[in-house]
Amino acid sequence: MSVTAIYPGTFDPITNGHSDLIQRACRLFDRVIVAVAANPKKTPLFTLEERVALAQGVLGGMEKVEVCGFDSLLAEFARQRGAAVILRGLRAVSDFEFEFQLAGMNRHLAPDVETLFLTPAEKYTFISSSLVKEVASLGGDIEDFVDPAVKAALNNRMR
Ligand code: COA
C-alpha cells in the first residue's frame, strides 16, 4: 500500500527546519505533498506563488516530494489528494497546544486522515520563518537557517 503524507504550512519562507522534516518524512512515506497555505491572516511577506516557487527550488532534488499551493480547507485538500496522513512538526512544548487543537479539528473534519508529528534536528528547534525574517531585516546572518536561494530572495525583499 502506498502512503501519501501532506505537510501543510505557510512556508513564508521555507527554512532548513522545514527541509529537515521533509527529508525525515521521505524515509517514512511513499509520497510527501508540501502544501503551501495561502493563509492571508498571516499577511505573508512572499506571495503564494513566490512561496511555492521557493519551496520547489529548495526541494527540487527530492523525487518523492511535490509542492503545491492551496487556499481551501486542509482536511478537504488532504482528502482530494488521497493523503492518509497530515504531517506537522513539533519543535518545542510551546507548539503542542496549537497543534493539538489543529489535529482535533482536522480529525473532526476528516476522520480518516491521521495527524502525525515529527521533530526536526535539535539545531533547528529554535527557528521559525518569522525569526529568520526578523534577523534578515536587521542585517543578521541567516545562512545556517535557509537555502542560499531563500537567503537571496529575503535579502532582495528586505532591500
Ligand atoms: N522548522 C522551522 N520552523 C518551523 C518548523 C520546522 N520544522 N515547523 C514549523 N515551523 C515554524 C514556521 O516557520 C512558522 O513560523 P512563523 O509563525 O514564524 O511563520 C511556525 O512554525 C508555524 O507555522 P506553520 O507550520 O507554517 O503553520 P502555520 O501556523 O503557519 O500554518 C496551517 C497552519 C497552514 C497548517 C493551517 O493554518 C491550515 O491548515 N490552514 C488551511 C485552512 C484550514 O484548513 N484551516 C482550519 C485548520 S483546522
CA 115 vs CA 18, 43, 121, 123: distances in Å: 17, 26, 20, 24
Question: What does the alpha-carbon distance between residue 23 and residue 115 come to, in Å, rounded to a whole number?
Answer: 18
pLDDT, position 145: 97
For the Cβ of 73 lying below 6 angstroms from any atom of ligand 1, the answer is yes
pLDDT reported for residue 158:
87
Annotated catalytic residue, options 81, 91, 151, 157: 91
For residue 41, the model assigns a pLDDT of 95
Q: How far apart are CA 18 and CA 12, in angstroms?
A: 11
* Strands laid side by side in the 65-70 sheet: 65-70, 31-37, 4-9, 85-89, 114-118
Q: Which atom of ligand 1 is nearest to the CA of 77?
A: 44
pLDDT at residue 65, as a whole number: 98
Computed over every residue of the chain, the mean pLDDT equals 96
How many residues can be counted in the chain? 159
Helices 148-158 & 48-59, crossing angle to 10 degrees?
A: 150
> Of 61, 56, 64, whose CA–CA distance to 13 is shortest?
56
Q: What distance in Å separates the CA atoms of residue 93 and residue 129, rounded to the nearest whole number?
A: 18
Q: Is residue 157 among the annotated active site residues?
A: no
Residue 145 DSSP class: T
SS3 28: coil
Q: Is 74 helix (H, G, I), strand (E, B) or coil?
A: helix
Ligand 1 centroid–CA 42 distance in Å is 10
| Prediction pTM value | 0.95
Averaged over 45-61, what is the pLDDT? Answer: 97
Mean pLDDT of 38-56: 97
Q: How confident is the model at residue 159 (pLDDT cuts 50, 70, 90)?
A: confident
Q: 157 — phi, psi (to 5°)?
A: -70, -35
Is the Cβ atom of 127 under 6 angstroms away from ligand 1? yes
Give the pLDDT band (50/70/90) at residue 57. Answer: very high
Taking residues 48-70, what's their average pLDDT? Answer: 97
For the segment 94-115, what is each residue's pLDDT rounded down to a tens digit?
889 999 999 999 999 999 999 9
Beta bridge partners of 87: 116
